[in-house]
């Protein structure tokens, strides 16, 4: 086997493993979300299918598979079909440039592996670009069904997504300035050492971290920004006319996006795979462990928020995004730029 072929196979293997892990994590998250929400509301949640209900996601999957696939008679067929594909493709592509841990060697061999599919020079910008393409699934879904509720829901959600994209993008800038690179592994490296070196600490980018987390929650339609979920008062949204597997794919894209946000929060603000205490071991599988722990914590916070906060009204949502988050993000960019330029922070 030549080195070129070996490298190709390694990349292929990474793609397969990460895709499968994400799919597994997605189905686990649907269960974890329902069980944790139930716990917060003094209920039991789904606990009948298998021990602790762990087979519930499989049962849900089978159910969705055998549901009838409906398409409105006057829908635009190709767009109706393309919307879930765009959603899932964008969700999976965005996570391709994220590192999950430090490079490690496979035991017993001399092959060194970086737990990351592609280490791009412009990694963070690439993720931003791909998530901005994800808006098209909402636009397509809302437009193609040729129904009033879908169209209004699509307009509502796409307006929400590109309003919050602005503050999301600006919250990256401070982090990029401090690390001096768009490469995510460089950003993680800039947070090594004690936990006060993490970007979330008040001496670095706490404001950007808060703005990022709120904007990202709005980007992935999580509570308190989950207007498409409001089926009682708003007739859900862009996915009103979707059923069966197409609906499941839309849901899957949302969960994968949420996982991407959690992974990015860990990398950009919570120190990535650095444990934050310099006396702890960092190499190899340890790093992966710290990374997973932090990511699961962020995912838990998302579920926690859903169990705690009520939903925004639409005008409040827009006011908050444009009049609070964007000015705060701009302030952070100006402040960080001044400190970096004048005081060589």
Partner 1 sequence: MAALEQLLRLVLSEAFLFYVFSGLAVASALGVVLQSNPVHSAFSLIVTFCSLSAIYGLLGAPFIAVLQIIVYAGAIMVLFLFVLMLLNVKREAPRAGRALAAAALLLGLLFAVQVGTTLSGPGLTPAAGYDASTQAFARQLFSPRFVYVFEATSILILAALVGAVVVAKKEP
Q: Which residues bind partner 1 (CB under 8 A)?
A: 1-2, 4-5, 8, 79, 120-122, 125-126, 128-130, 132-133, 135-136, 139-140, 142-143, 151, 154-155, 158-159, 162, 165, 182
C-alpha of 145 from chain center: 26
Which residues face 112 on adjacent strands? Answer: 105
Q: How far is the CB of 42 from partner 1 (least distance, A)?
A: 43
Q: How far is the CB of 172 from partner 1 (least distance, A)?
A: 12
Residue 179 to residue 87: CA distance in whole angstroms: 31
Write down how long the chain is: 345
Q: Is 243 helix (H, G, I), strand (E, B) or coil?
A: coil
Q: How far is the CB of 150 from partner 1 (least distance, A)?
A: 11
Closest CA to 165 of 194, 196, 197, 134: 134
Element (H, E) at 112: strand 112-113
20 CB neighbour count, 10 Å cutoff: 10
Q: Which two tokens stand for residue 217?
A: 């929650």
> Which residue is listed with tokens 């990374």?
291
- State the number of CA atoms in the 13 A half-sphere of 309 facing the CB: 16
Q: How far is the CB of 1 from partner 1 (least distance, A)?
A: 7
Q: How far is the CB of 247 from partner 1 (least distance, A)?
A: 21
By beta-carbon proximity to partner 1, the closer residue of 158 and 295 is: 158
Which residues, other chains included, contact 14 with Cβ-Cβ below 8 Å and sequence gap of 6+? 113, 115, 116, 117
Three-state SS letters, 103-162? CEECCCCCCEECCCCCCCCCHHHHHHHHHHHHHHHHHHHHHHCCCHHHHHHHHHHHHHHH
Q: What is the DSSP letter of 196?
A: G
By beta-carbon proximity to partner 1, the closer residue of 36 and 166 is: 166
Q: How far is the CB of 76 from partner 1 (least distance, A)?
A: 8
**Is there a contact between 180 and 342 (Cβ–Cβ < 8 Å)?**
no
By beta-carbon proximity to partner 1, the closer residue of 139 and 250 is: 139
Residue 178 to residue 174: CA distance in whole angstroms: 6
Residue 324 to residue 327: CA distance in whole angstroms: 6
By beta-carbon proximity to partner 1, the closer residue of 5 and 73 is: 5
By beta-carbon proximity to partner 1, the closer residue of 162 and 286 is: 162
Q: How far is the CB of 121 from partner 1 (least distance, A)?
A: 6
By beta-carbon proximity to partner 1, the closer residue of 60 and 165 is: 165
Q: How far is the CB of 343 from partner 1 (least distance, A)?
A: 20
By beta-carbon proximity to partner 1, the closer residue of 92 and 126 is: 126
By beta-carbon proximity to partner 1, the closer residue of 25 and 125 is: 125
């Amino acid at each position: 086997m030549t080195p070129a072929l070996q490298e190709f196979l390694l990349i292929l293997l990474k793609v397969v493993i990460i895709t499968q892990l994400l799919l597994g994590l997605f189905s686990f998250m649907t269960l974890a979300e329902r069980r944790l929400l139930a716990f917060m509301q003094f209920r039991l949640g789904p606990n009948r299918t298998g021990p602790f209900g762990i087979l519930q996601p499989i049962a849900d999957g089978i159910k969705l598979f055998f549901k009838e696939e409906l398409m409105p008679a006057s829908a635009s067929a190709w767009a109706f079909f393309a919307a879930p594909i765009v959603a899932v493709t964008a969700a999976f592509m965005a996570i391709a440039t994220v590192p999950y841990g430090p490079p490690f060697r496979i035991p017993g061999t001399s092959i060194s592996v970086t737990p990351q599919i592609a280490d791009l020079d412009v990694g963070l910008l690439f993720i931003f670009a791909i998530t901005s393409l994800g808006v098209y699934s909402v636009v397509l879904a809302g437009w193609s069904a040729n129904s009033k509720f879908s169209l209004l829901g699509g307009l509502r959600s796409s307006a929400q997504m590109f309003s919050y994209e602005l503050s999301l993008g600006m919250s990256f800038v401070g982090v990029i300035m401090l690390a001096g690179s768009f490469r995510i592994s460089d950003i993680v490296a800039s947070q090594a050492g004690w936990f006060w070196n993490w970007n979330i600490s008040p001496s670095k980018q706490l404001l950007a971290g808060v703005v990022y987390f709120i904007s990202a929650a709005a980007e992935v339609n999580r509570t308190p920004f989950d207007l498409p979920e409001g089926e009682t008062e708003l007739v859900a949204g862009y996915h009103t006319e979707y059923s069966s597997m197409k609906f499941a794919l839309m849901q899957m894209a949302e969960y994968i996006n949420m996982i991407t946000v959690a992974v990015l929060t860990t990398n950009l603000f919570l120190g990535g795979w650095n444990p934050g205490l310099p006396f702890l071991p960092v190499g190899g599988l340890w790093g992966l462990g710290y990374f997973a722990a932090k990511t699961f914590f962020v995912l838990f916070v998302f579920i926690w928020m859903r169990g705690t906060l009520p939903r925004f009204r639409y005008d409040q949502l827009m006011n908050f995004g444009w009049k609070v988050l964007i000015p705060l993000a701009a302030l952070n960019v100006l402040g960080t730029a001044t400190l970096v330029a004048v005081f060589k922070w």
